Every structure is written in structure tokens, then in C-alpha cells.
């Protein structure tokens, strides 16, 4: 059902507005193999492919000669070949070969800056060179590290990038939506991060690179507490440490100072209010044999259940910021929104 939804959203994609400059998931690494692949990003079509060195490229999808879709072509001698007239484009996007004649100097594809890490091919949105790097978590891409267990989720939604990311800054919804009954209150603080400038930097300064935060809550109680106690996963204090960029997050989850798992939360903005929420997680070794596997399954279930509870609400959220009444518990969300908007300004200025 969610896959069909993703296909429908891709077909109806419209240009994205109010999108922050940053790194976005173009495609999971495992899904970009030997053949070119169509990618819909920011309301436009691109083609993803791998060059002779195996590195991922993301280029504009339309051949500048006669308008054919390049994702219908193939990779030949390390170049991307158009299926219509066999024009070929190199890894920079320049036309490298035209049958029987010299390639026109103006024949070139738009190339998005790309990186490949944490199990994804990332594409940079915003003019100019990238201003920082995407999150790179060991164990999430390429060779798997011994003792680690991984899982990945990809869910289409009508929420915007900002709506998806600001959810992590909202401790009140942990109890209200997810029913995490705890022996006290959840709270969020903003530790000083390198290069941080408060709410995103003064108006005439560069915006802060990240909006880091730490979310803590006390032990679980009720039915959840009973289950957590049974498998040894309850704690006096849980901590979620987040490195938050304008387009993605790197999250670590601790119980009484013991790290349980790490994950990347990222977004593919297909079009206006059409996105895919990505989660790629690695569970640290926490016990051997059956107990270790059981704990890994519990962590996967809690992440997956929380994500699936968010999605129906995401699909109904109204666009914009000014349709609600704010309370003190919303201040962290509002802080992130100010930070995010500074990176929207970067995209618009560049």
C-alpha cells in the first residue's frame, strides 16, 4: 500500500517550495546498481547512475539533444548513453560522444553534488558547493561490522521535510501520540554545538550548521514498563542525542548511559508535500545469542511502531506555521523552525 502511494506521489510531483538547503536522500545505495534509475527530487526528474569508478552520480534526466529520458538508456564505457540517438555523457555531465560528429560544446547535463554514505546516495539542494557533509554512520553502508544488527524503513508521506524533522524536537507527542507512559516528564535541552549560533545565527551571519538537542525521559511504567523490565531494557533514564541538520538527523539512543542504537533520519522531497521518510538504524551488540537478537527486535519494533503512528498524522497536517496555538512545550519545535528557515534563505540566496 505504501509503495503504491509512493508511485502515485512521484507521478504527481510538483516543485517544492520553502525547502532548506542541505543533503537529501536521492536513492538507497542498494537500489542504484548497473542500470540508470529514474529519481524524482524537488519536483523534477533526475537520473541516477554509476560511473566507471562505481561512484554514484545524479544528473538532470532529459537529454539536451531531443528530450529523451536518460533513465531509459544504459551505461557504456563509463558514460551514460541516451536511448534515442546514442549521445553519451560523462561523469561530469558533459557530452563526450555523438555518433559521426563532434559533440556540441553546449550539450551538458546538470549535475547535483552527491555523496554516498550511511546506506544512501545523497544529493545537495541549493546553489553553490555543499556547506557541510551528510551523516556518515559506521555499519550502515557497505561492509557490515561484526556484532551489529541493522534495519531500514522508507515510508511515503504528504508531510514536508520540515514537518518530518521537527517531530524529533517535540517531547510532548511522545506521551500524547505514542503513549510512552513514564515516571516523570520528558524534557529537551540544546547543548552548545561547535559553530552554533542560537536560533540559527544572526540575520547578517551564516546560519549555524546544526541544531543539536538532547531529549531525556525517566523509566517506563505501565504495560510498556512491564515488557521493558522483562527483557532488561528499562532504565532510570533514557537519552536521545541528536545531531540535527536542516535536512537530516543523526540520532543516538541511550539507557542509563549505555548506547542501544544509532540511526539516520533523512528525507526524499519528491514534490510539494510529497516526501519519503527514511530511517536507517544500527543496533549495538547488547547481549549474545537469543537475548541479543530479542533486544534488537524490540528496538526495531519500537522505532517502526513510532514511525507508523506518526505517518497518518503527517498525512493530515496543514501546510504553514500559523494555524495553531503555541504552549511552552512547543518552544523546541519553534526553535528548530527558525533554524530551518535560515537554511531556506540560504537556498533562495544561492
Per residue in 26-62, pLDDT (tens digit) is 999 999 998 999 999 999 999 999 999 999 999 999 9
Among residues 182, 252, 169, the alpha carbon closest in space to that of 220 is found at 182
pLDDT, one tens digit per residue, over 280-306 is 998 876 655 666 677 777 778 878 888
pLDDT of residue 118: 95
What is the per-residue pLDDT for 205?
A: 74
> Of 346, 25, 251, which is closest to residue 154 (Cα–Cα)?
25
Grid coordinates given for 196 = 552554533
pLDDT at 180: 67
For residue 294, the model assigns a pLDDT of: 74
Quick count: other Cβ atoms within 10 Å of Cβ 76? 11
Domain ranges of the chain: 19-125, 149-349
Q: Which of 6-20, 75-89, 114-128 has the lowest mean pLDDT?
A: 6-20
DSSP, collapsed to helix, strand or coil, labels residue 251 as: strand
Classify the C-alpha dihedral 129-132-138-140 as positive or negative: negative
Write the pLDDT tens digit of every residue in 143-201: 665 567 888 999 999 999 999 999 999 988 877 777 666 667 778 999 864 444 555 55
Q: What is the mean pLDDT of the chain?
A: 86
Report the alpha-carbon distance of residue 129 to residue 201 in Å, rounded. 20
Calculate what percentage of the chain has a pLDDT beyond 90: 58
CATH classification of 19-125, choosing from 3.40.30.10, 2.102.10.10, 3.20.20.210, 3.40.50.620? Answer: 2.102.10.10
The pLDDT of residue 181 is 66
Question: Does residue 252 surpass a pLDDT of 80?
Answer: yes
In this prediction, residue 291 carries a pLDDT of 67
Q: CA nearest 24: which of 195, 210, 278?
A: 278
Asked if the domains 19-125 and 149-349 are classified in one and the same CATH topology, the answer is no
Q: Give 202's pLDDT tier (boundaries 50, 70, 90).
A: very low
- Gap between the Cα atoms of 208 and 28, Å rounded: 28
- Please state the rounded mean pLDDT for residues 316-334: 81
Task: Determine which helix (DSSP H) or strand (DSSP E) holds 225, and give its type and residue range.
Answer: helix 222-230
Q: Which residue, 98, 101, 53, 111, is CA-closest to 77?
A: 53
**pLDDT for res 324:** 72
* pTM of this prediction exceeds 0.85: yes
Give tens-digit pLDDT for 66-103: 999 999 999 999 999 999 999 999 999 999 999 999 99
Please give the CATH topology (third level) of the domain spanning 149-349: Naphthalene 1,2-dioxygenase Alpha Subunit; Chain A, domain 1 (3.90.380)
Beta strands in 256-305 (DSSP E): 258-271, 274-283
Amino acid at each position: 500500500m505504501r509503495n503504491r502511494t509512493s508511485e502515485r506521489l512521484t507521478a504527481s510531483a510538483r516543485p517544492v517550495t520553502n525547502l532548506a538547503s542541505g543533503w537529501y536522500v536521492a536513492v538507497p545505495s542498494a537500489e542504484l546498481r548497473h542500470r540508470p534509475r529514474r529519481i524524482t527530487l524537488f519536483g523534477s526528474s533526475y537520473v541516477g547512475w554509476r560511473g566507471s569508478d562505481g561512484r554514484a552520480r545524479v544528473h538532470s534526466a532529459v537529454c539536451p539533444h531531443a528530450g529523451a529520458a536518460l533513465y531509459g538508456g544504459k551505461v557504456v564505457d563509463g558514460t551514460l548513453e541516451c536511448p534515442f540517438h546514442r549521445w553519451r555523457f560523462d561523469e561530469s555531465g558533459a557530452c563526450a560522444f555523438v555518433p559521426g560528429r563532434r559533440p556540441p560544446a553546449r550539450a551538458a547535463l546538470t549535475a547535483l553534488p552527491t555523496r554516498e554514505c550511511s546506506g544512501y546516495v545523497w544529493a545537495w539542494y541549493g546553489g553553490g558547493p555543499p556547506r557541510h557533509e551528510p551523516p556518515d554512520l559506521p555499519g550502515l553502508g557497505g561492509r557490515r561490522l561484526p556484532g551489529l544488527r541493522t534495519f531500514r524503513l522508507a515510508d511515503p508521506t504528504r508531510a514536508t521535510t520540515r514537518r518530518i524533522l521537527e517531530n524529533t524536537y517535540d517531547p510532548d507527542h511522545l506521551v500524547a501520540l505514542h503513549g510512552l507512559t513514564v515516571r516523570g516528564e520528558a524534557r529537551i535541552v540544546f547543548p552548545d554545538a561547535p559553530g552554533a549560533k542560537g536560533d540559527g545565527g544572526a540575520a547578517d551571519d551564516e546560519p549555524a550548521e546544526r541544531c543539536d538537542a538532547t531529549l531525556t525521559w525517566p523509566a517506563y511504567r505501565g504495560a510498556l514498563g512491564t515488557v521493558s523490565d522483562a527483557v532488561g531494557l528499562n532504565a532510570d533514564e533514557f537519552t536521545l542525542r541528536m545531531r540535527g541538520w536542516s535536512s537530516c538527523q543523526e540520532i543516538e539512543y541511550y539507557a542509563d548511559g549505555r548506547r542501544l542504537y544509532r540511526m539516520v533520519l533523512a528525507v526524499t522531497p519528491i514534490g510539494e508535500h510529497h516526501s519519503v521518510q527514511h530511517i536507517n538504524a544500527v543496533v549495538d551488540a547488547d547481549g549474545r545469542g537469543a537475548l541479543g537478537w530479542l533486544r534488537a527486535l524490540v528496538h526495531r519494533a519500537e522505532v517502526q511502531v513510532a514511525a507508523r503512528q506518526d505517518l497518518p498524522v503527517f498525512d493530515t497536517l496543514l501546510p504553514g506555521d500559523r494555524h495553531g496555538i503555541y504552549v511552552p512545550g512547543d518552544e523546541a519545535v519553534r526553535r528548530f523552525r527558525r533554524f530551518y528557515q535560515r537554511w531556506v534563505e540560504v537556498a533562495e540566496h544561492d
